[in-house]
Amino acid sequence: MLYFPPTSGFDRVMIRPLALSCIVAGMATSALAADPPATPAALVAQAPAHAWKTIAPDSLLVMTLEGGRRVIVQLAPTFSPSHVANIRALARAHWWDGTSINRVQDNYVVQWGDVTEKKPLPKNLSPTSPADYSRQRATLPIHITPAPSADAYAPTTGFSDGWPVAMDREAVWLPHCYSFVGVGRNLSPDAGTGAELYAVIGQAPRQLDRNIAVVGRVVEGMALLSSLPRGSGELGFYTPQEHAISIVSVRLASDLPEAERPRFEAMDTASRTFADYLRLRANRKDDFYDRPAGGVDLCNAPVPVRAVP
């Protein structure tokens, strides 16, 4: 199965899918003729093996919901080490088992954790602070692929270590894009432990960048989260009359038996393939698009992620 978290590669608004046969046929033809791929989807489908990097199993958080439905979050330890350490500790303590998805606010977030706020936290959590919302650029000697376009929220943006990043001269931080996961908190200086998490389900609420910790992104089950009924309580919390979704378990993939372990790869954002992907994302000029935008928003060029057998 192939994912672009979160958009489909076929981002067109056809009246009906009839024309899909043309697209698929077109892809096959161009592969045979060794033409460069015309769409981001075709490019990703043809990406060479060396353009992909395995996601470490202890960076995959596997959440099983009532009814056996599954959501998988890729953690970002490079950019959010303190909070990710806590999230790993919480998963190893089985802390989320029996908690719930209890807030769904339209065009904003789906949030989960202990709605009672009374469940004791594991003793081994690390302290966090607003300083954890970004990293010093100097401490991150990693390759940055520049983003193609101007951004409304940061002086510079790009892609690094498999993630979109926003930057100023000193700091680098993860943006609040669709499907990205952050850490709920109370008023500052509280920076959240990592026990209360949310996923973005609408237009990127980038005003939250550097006001809250971003710790990862959903790589499986996003459509499940985004289609949950909206809560009618304040801020979209479910009222007692509404059905909060029970969380059966949350585990790191590395703690699952080998046979049950999901495996994912993300496209190497330092690869030539990813640079080509960005170029195509910014310049759609295939059979449906007459007029390439010549640019693409940081949150509209999701790093391709795929499940592997």
Residues in 211-240 at the binding interface with a copy of itself, rule: CB under 8 A: 211-212, 222-223, 226-230, 233-237
Residue 135 binding a copy of itself, by CB under 8 A: no
Q: Which of 45, 39, 60 is nearest to 255 (CA)?
A: 60
The single residue among 135, 210, 217, 306 that binds a copy of itself, judged by CB under 8 A, is: 210
Residues 173/178/179/180 CA torsion (nearest 10 deg): 10
Q: Which part of the chain contacts a copy of itself (CB under 8 A), choosing from 8-16, 65-73, 75-83, 85-93?
A: 8-16
DSSP code, position 38? S
| Residue (52 or 178) nearer to a copy of itself, CB | 178
Side by side, the strands of the sheet bearing 171-173 are 135-136, 171-173, 163-167, 156-160, 145-146
Contact status, residue 193 vs residue 126, Cβ threshold 8 Å: no
The single residue among 187, 240, 241, 260 that binds a copy of itself, judged by CB under 8 A, is: 187
Q: How far is CA 284 from the centre of its chain?
A: 23
3-state DSSP assignment of residue 120: coil
Identify residues 152-181 at the interface with a copy of itself (CB under 8 A). Answer: 152-153, 177-179
Q: Least distance in Å: CB of 185 to a copy of itself? A: 6
| Residue (142 or 228) nearer to a copy of itself, CB | 228
DSSP code, position 226? H
Identify residues 58-77 at the interface with a copy of itself (CB under 8 A). Answer: none
Residue 137 binding a copy of itself, by CB under 8 A: no
Contact status, residue 173 vs residue 208, Cβ threshold 8 Å: no
Residue 242 binding a copy of itself, by CB under 8 A: no
